[in-house]
Amino acid sequence: MADPIIRTRIAPSPTGEFHIGGLRTLLFNYAWAKKNGGQFVIRIEDTDRTRFVPGATNRMLEVIKDYGFDWDEGPLKEGAYGPYIQSERLNIYREYIDRLVSQKNAYYCFCTSERLEELRNRAQADGKNFKYDRHCFSLSSDEVSSRLEQGEKYTIRMKVPDDEIVSFNDVVLGEVSIPTKEIDDQVLFKSDGYPTYHFAVVVDDSLMKISHVLRGVEWIPSTPKHILLYRFLGIEPPKFGHLPNLKTLGTNKKMSKRDGSVFAIDFLKDGYLPEAIINFLMFLGWNPGTEREFFSLEEFIKEFDINKIHKTDLVSFNRDKLDWYNNQYLIKLSNEEYLSKLIYWSQKFNSPCLISDISNKYSSENVLKIISLIKERINVFSEFDKNVDYFLNHPNLDNLVLGKYSNDPKKVLKFFYETLKNTEDFSFEYLDPLLHSLVKENSFSMKEYFMTLRISLTGETVTPPIVDIIVILGKEVVLTRLDSAISKL
């Protein structure tokens, strides 16, 4: 018998922007399907109408594409098991919920929100977890019919078996067992006519022939509910694997917006390269077992192994490590590629960027030289402006800054002014040995002279080599800035 086809999925809810943790989950599901020659499916779970955000679905699909992913089936790519948006599948769910009710694995509940709130408050006061008291489970079929005919609002709850242990073999964590006494009679159908997540996910994963469900470890308490539903419906469940959640570095708390970006789109807006973020995410809960740190998506798919996923609740989202990854990817770009990606980023996200001003002021050759000088110094494109501002604007100086590295900054700047004023050749090949030799010949301190020169021309204490900057700025600008600095002393 041929091995079953591997089919994985992600099923985001359009309740806001796509979380970076969701992208990591997508990456692992995508890799497992592609490694095994299977299919990757996207399904939109939009049954929570109270939190539904118009336009969120399209934004999620767009950002997934921006990160370089595609899907075999899902919205915009209808397949044999659609539709792939849950709100378009309501007639399907009705058939399955009616079956559960007829089997007495589910029952109608007419309890009001006020009564349920009272039960919750009572449980909280007693220090207990809330569980529905099955007040409506004993209603006769005639009473249920009568109340339905009167148009009374209802939900449909699952009847959880008493005193059982629900076990499953997690492909990441191993054997997991949870007693049914810890499981509430979960609402499966809401009063608005929509299924809850717990019911719809079981029906959809079954009908869409999903073989593996890789999802965050926070879903472990829900998995026994789903396994029970599979049993009630006579369906073989998929294989479950629970992935560690992402936490803020140095804490045991899930990532928070207070610590920086958390949505996938925001990292792109900040100026990270998609391929660098994906490489970084590969190692959040997985390790190849080697010292290797760089993988393309294709290489990761070949290497990916469920058995190498970490068996832990949380893994640290180290933003410094992400910056390092992005910096390494930027460095590897040619200057032309860097310029192209920088312009694309600025235009796509409508991000203010001085590259247009730089391009207008300098020749194409000098634009690429500027990129060559600064690209190792920035981690993300949003840092570009602060690293090139002095190529466009005169520095704002004061005496304290100019005198930081010299007891007589005026003498230092006059020395450079006179030297450069009388220099016709302003090429790097001529100026670099000239200035260094003059400083040595006059027994000047390299740090004193070149740091004072750097501050006067850029207003910064840390820049690329100052002679490179002098060549790009050009003689006229350099002399004007030196003259301005001298006049302040």
Catalytic site positions: 257
Token output for 360: 């207008």
Cα–Cα nearest to 327, from 290, 284, 293, 283: 293
Which phi and psi (to 5°) does residue 460 adopt? -120, 155
* C-alpha distances in Å from residue 470, one per residue of 392, 452, 474: 13, 14, 6
Cβ-contact 231, 25 below 8 angstroms: no
d(C-alpha 274, C-alpha 360), whole Å: 28
Token output for 375: 């690209």
Cβ-contact 90, 194 below 8 angstroms: yes
The SS3 assignment for 154 reads coil
The SS3 assignment for 315 reads strand
Q: Is residue 292 left, alpha or beta, with left meaning phi > 0 and alpha meaning psi from -120 to 50?
A: beta
Strand partners, 247: 254, 316
d(C-alpha 475, C-alpha 473), whole Å: 7
